[in-house]
Amino acid sequence: MHVARRGIRMKGCPVLFLRAVVSAALGQTRATWLASVGLAVAAVLGVCSASQGGITFENPLGPPAGSNSGIYSDQFLGARFQFTDPVEVESVGGEFRNLGGTYFAALVPLASMGSLPTGDPPNGVPFNPGEVLAYQTFAGAVGSTPAIQTVPFSISLPAGVYGVVFGTGLYGTASTSNPGMPRYGSVPGSAGFFWSTVPYRWQNGSPGFQQRIQMTIVPEPATLSLLVVGGMGVLIRRRR
């Protein structure tokens, strides 16, 4: 993986998985948030595991909304995630279709959950120098049936808002197919965004233009009060 900013610790760690959908609200106390996680887990699975491990968060999505959103050299797809405590990223991922060739996953710090990457749109430049915190290139391995592909992305982050962006055409990547990500409707908390042309610009995903994008993280040992404000429907899984 390529890191563009100093002072970021690179780490990896094993994880266990437990899956549930959690509704979290900004401003909850640590005890209240942990209690709400336990209730949500119990509601979905009928069990609550205290095992430590990685947690996968997903951009909140509505129902399927038609065809793919394409991934091209002039169209990138992303989503925002916010953490109130330091975390260690294990991987990023997304639901793809027809993913042949090579692609990149980029991690971009953002000022807020309403912010977009800056870039230089008048000149067709999606990212300014130093704007990408880290990136990883990968070979696509998804056919015509939509499937999740994850990308190892071991990096420790301070609290803040981050955008995960998938694309091709940068960092030596090039697609060899007609790749895309299935579209979903928007729900409260949906945080998708994209880079597109005519004119070049970053913009928020409109209703029907949200993608399944994920981050798998491990909370720092002393910060189990992790809160993600990516929306009201957060997917949590712990790998066994």
Cα–Cα distance, 48 to 19 (Å, whole number): 10
Which CA distances in Å does 199 have to 70, 75, 117, 152, 211?
A: 17, 12, 16, 33, 22
Q: Which of 66-70, 171-175, 221-225 has the highest mean pLDDT?
A: 171-175
Which one has a higher pLDDT value, 165 or 38? Answer: 165
pLDDT at 3 over 90: no
Q: Could you tell me whether strands 20-22 and 234-236 are parallel, antiparallel, or unpaired per DSSP bridges?
A: antiparallel
pTM of the model: 0.77
Where does 2-236 sit in CATH, by number? 2.60.120.820
- Which residues, at least 6 apart from 22, have a Cβ–Cβ distance to it below 8 Å? 36, 37, 40, 41, 234, 236
* DSSP-based three-state secondary structure for 181: strand
Q: Where are the domains of the chain?
A: 2-236
67-81 residue pLDDT tens: 899 999 999 999 999
Cα–Cα distance, 184 to 95 (Å, whole number): 11
Q: Are residues 99 and 147 in contact, defined by beta-carbon separation less than 8 angstroms?
A: no
Q: Are residues 109 and 161 in contact, defined by beta-carbon separation less than 8 angstroms?
A: yes
Which one has a higher pLDDT value, 157 or 13? Answer: 157
Mean pLDDT of the chain: 78
Q: Are residues 121 and 202 in contact, defined by beta-carbon separation less than 8 angstroms?
A: yes
What is the distance in angstroms between the CA of the first residue and the CA of the last residue of the chain? 25
pLDDT for position 54: 87
Cα–Cα distance, 35 to 38 (Å, whole number): 5
* DSSP-based three-state secondary structure for 149: strand
- In 3D space, the residue among 179, 173, 110, 169 whose CA is nearest the CA of residue 142 turns out to be 179
Confidence of residue 14 (pLDDT cuts 50, 70, 90): very low
139-156 residue pLDDT tens: 999 999 999 999 999 999
